[in-house]
Structure 1
Amino acid sequence: MTCGGCSARLQRVLDACPGVAASTVVLEGGRVGIDYDPARIDVATLEQAIADAGFSVVAG
């Protein structure tokens, strides 16, 4: 992510996913925190949503 607009866009994408209660995107360091219901959405689907939004996923 290179700007505040990028982080805001990613947060909107994540928050729109069914099963996501909240997300936090930190521009500095490019980190994301996601509060989600694993009965409604899995990690692979979240990773795909991030990739579809044009961002890379690095586990860690």
Structure 2
Amino acid sequence: MKIDVDFDRCEGHGLCEDQAPEIFRLDDDGDLHVKMDDIPEDRAAAARSAIAACPVAALRERA
């Protein structure tokens, strides 16, 4: 699976990092970094939880 991030929409709340710290990281400036280009199947549930947790809908699963 892949994740698209709308960086213009992201406000740095960090809920994605809370849900899936192995996939998402916010730096000291509050900028989001996705640690993996391809999310392995064993991490897909955590990635989907992170997508659902984003309060500004900045994350989405790429079809």
Of structures 1 and 2, the one with the larger relative CO (CA 8 A, separation 6+) is 2
TM-score (norm 1): 0.39
Query: Greater share of helix residues, 1 or 2?
Result: 1
Q: Which TM-score applies when normalising by structure 2? A: 0.39
